[in-house]
Amino acid sequence: MSFPRRDFLRLAAGAAGIAGLPALSRLARADTYPSRSVRIVVGFPPGAATDIVGRMVAQALSQKFGQQFFVENKPGAGSNLAADLVAKAPPDGYNLLAMTVTNAVNETLYKNPGFDFVHDLVPIARTIRSSNVLVVNLSVPAKNVAEFVAYAKANPGKLNYASYGFGTAPNMAGELFNMLAGTKLVHVPYHSNFMPDLLSGQVQLSFLPVPLIIGFIRSGQVRALGVSGATPSEALPDVPPIAQTVPGYAADIWHGIAAPKATPPEIVGKLHDTIDAILTDPVLKPKFVNLGAEPAPLSTADLRMFITAEVDKWAKVIKFADIKAG
């Protein structure tokens, strides 16, 4: 059977148009996104660092897009409840997760969370990073990290560090220090505020995010020995990185935004670019710095590699210290 050339060209053009419909549909979907409110799920209660950062980002996104981005707090199971909720939500860009380093830790800490953080969620953007600070009670004679390591090794098992429980950021930072520095700091988990005990000397030290401890440092109630980042914190410029004395040490708190794994890449890209622009905004950036945090954008490809590296690093620490979910 043969077709006139004109009919053949018309059919071919029609077929090409049909074949191109999915691509056009994806582009149209990205162009109109968001057309309604977007939920950002936070796995911690109101007032927690992840909640504060999530709300700042949500407000900025609302202003950029002209649609409401709102935070919904879903604390529980060490933030796994929120991550599971988003991982199983429709992958349409309207359900996002305020992710943090805790999610990378939980990938190993919890054996059957019901989802896979690396494979069931797609990272969109890293927003900020905040150093942890090694702080000691004033009774500890060490004035820097080198003196502290020497003092800790001379007194194995006699220095206690406080945390909010097994698998929390101070616990992971403390055990990473033990692993890399060869010390034997003793973990003391709390389920309530441990600052009175740190200030009184009931426990001798802790590893805490800059925003939570900076007031006590500035008032001279505790001594800051080192920060967990590769460079000094902008909020504590005179406190050197722990890694200068303990090579390889890095235990920053970081935050970001993720979505269900099948979220269209056009929407992921649109959100990524907008969030990156927000992080450099001259009005918003100082607000992050005032919290003791620093904007920390990464490309989506680099962010995927970063998260994989974080999961692997904390898995080694969990195995080293035999940490179990509390």
Beta bridge partners of 134: 207, 226
Residues 150, 235 contacting (CB under 8 angstroms): no
Q: Of 244, 271, 286, which residue sits at a domain end?
A: 244
Q: Is residue 157 part of a domain?
A: yes
92: CATH:
3.40.190.150
Residue 15 clears pLDDT 60, i.e. is over it: no
My answer on whether 203 and 107 are in the same domain is no
pLDDT band at 205 (very low <50, low <70, confident <90, very high): very high
CA angle 27, 32, 36 (to 5 degrees): 140
My answer on whether 166 and 222 are in the same domain is yes
Residues 314, 174 contacting (CB under 8 angstroms): no
My answer on whether 64 and 145 are in the same domain is no
Q: Is residue 86 part of a domain?
A: yes
Would you tell me how many other CB atoms lie within 10 Å of the CB of residue 99?
Answer: 31
My answer on whether 264 and 185 are in the same domain is no
My answer on whether 40 and 120 are in the same domain is yes
My answer on whether 222 and 146 are in the same domain is yes
Per-residue model confidence (pLDDT) at position 24: 42
More confident residue, 232 or 160: 160
Q: Is residue 25 part of a domain?
A: no
SS (H, E, C) the chain: CCCCHHHHHHHHHHHHHHHHHHHHHHHHHHHHCCCCCEEEEECCCCCCHHHHHHHHHHHHHHHHHCCCEEEEECCCHHHHHHHHHHHCCCCCCCEEEEEEHHHHHHHHHCCCCCCCHHHHEEEEEEEEEECEEEEECCCCCCCCHHHHHHHHHHCCCCCEEEECCCCCHHHHHHHHHHHHHCCCCEEEECCCCCHHHHHHCCCCEEEEEHHHHHHHHHCCCCEEEEECCCCCECCECCCCEHHHCCCCCCCCEEEEEEEECCCCHHHHHHHHHHHHHHHCCCCCHHHHHHCCCEECCCCHHHHHHHHHHHHHHHHHHHHHHCCCCC
Per-residue model confidence (pLDDT) at position 31: 81
Q: Of 244, 265, 280, which residue sits at a domain end?
A: 244
Q: Which of 88-97, 214-223, 249-258, 279-288 has the lowest mean pLDDT?
A: 279-288
Residue 160 clears pLDDT 60, i.e. is over it: yes
Residue 324 clears pLDDT 80, i.e. is over it: yes
By CB atoms closer than 10 A (0-12, 13-18, 19+), residue 283 is: exposed
Per-residue model confidence (pLDDT) at position 71: 98
Q: Is residue 7 part of a domain?
A: no
Q: Of 244, 279, 306, which residue sits at a domain end?
A: 244
Q: Is residue 49 part of a domain?
A: yes
Phi-psi group of 165: left, alpha or beta (phi > 0 → left; psi -120 to 50 → alpha; rest → beta): left
Q: Round to whole Å and give the CA distance between 265 and 125.
A: 13
Per-residue model confidence (pLDDT) at position 2: 44
My answer on whether 175 and 221 are in the same domain is yes
My answer on whether 186 and 269 are in the same domain is no
Q: Round to whole Å and give the CA distance between 210 and 288.
A: 12
Residue 49 clears pLDDT 90, i.e. is over it: no
My answer on whether 137 and 124 are in the same domain is no
More confident residue, 245 or 2: 245
pLDDT band at 13 (very low <50, low <70, confident <90, very high): very low
Over residues 76-95, mean pLDDT = 96
179, HSE (Cβ side, Cα atoms, 13 Å): 21
My answer on whether 44 and 59 are in the same domain is yes
Per-residue model confidence (pLDDT) at position 142: 98
175: CATH:
3.40.190.10
The 10s digit of each residue's pLDDT in 244-295 is 999 999 999 999 999 999 999 999 999 999 999 999 888 888 888 777 788 9
Q: Which domain holds residue 139?
A: 132-244
The 10s digit of each residue's pLDDT in 172-202 is 999 999 999 999 999 999 988 999 999 999 9
Q: Is residue 8 part of a domain?
A: no
Q: Which of 11-20, 75-84, 154-163, 197-206 has the lowest mean pLDDT?
A: 11-20
Over residues 217-238, mean pLDDT = 93
Over residues 100-117, mean pLDDT = 94
Per-residue model confidence (pLDDT) at position 8: 41
Chain-wide mean pLDDT for the chain? Answer: 90
Over residues 104-117, mean pLDDT = 94
What proportion of the chain, given as a percentage, has pLDDT over 90?
77
Per-residue model confidence (pLDDT) at position 20: 52
Q: How many domains does the chain have?
A: 2
Beta bridge partners of 128: 295
Q: Is residue 267 part of a domain?
A: yes
Q: Is residue 168 part of a domain?
A: yes
My answer on whether 126 and 141 are in the same domain is no
My answer on whether 175 and 201 are in the same domain is yes
Q: Round to whole Å and give the CA distance between 298 and 314.
A: 20
pLDDT band at 29 (very low <50, low <70, confident <90, very high): low
Residues 125, 297 contacting (CB under 8 angstroms): yes
